[in-house]
Amino acid sequence: MPDPERCINVLGTRISIVNMQTAIEEISTWINSNKTGRYVCVTGVHGVMESFRNAEIRKIHNNADMCVPDGMPMTWLGRIYGHKTINRV
């Protein structure tokens, strides 16, 4: 489950505060740690809305080790929340 301090909450869905570079760096550390069972969700507005409507989808998104922003609306929200480095992945 992602660190809540490194996520924004969009209608109950955690979106990771990452960009392409930080996502690659984080995933590289996972590979080097040999810990299995990690997964990444790629989520834009549609995914957030489906998560809002469906608790099972929301659970999948929120339990992902990383839920990366896919699309500019997620990026804009992250920046509104004050996270200047967030960008779509």
Beta bridge partners of 13: 10
- pTM value is 0.89
Whether the pLDDT of residue 3 is over 80: the answer is no
Confidence of residue 34 (pLDDT cuts 50, 70, 90): confident
Write the DSSP assignment of 18-32 as a string of letters: --HHHHHHHHHHHHH
**Tens-digit pLDDT profile for residues 53-77:** 999 999 999 999 999 999 999 999 9
Whether the pLDDT of residue 2 is over 70: the answer is no
**Tens-digit pLDDT profile for residues 13-27:** 999 999 999 999 999
Give the C-alpha distances (Å, rounded to integers) separating 81 from 2, 11, 18, 22, 86: 18, 14, 13, 18, 10
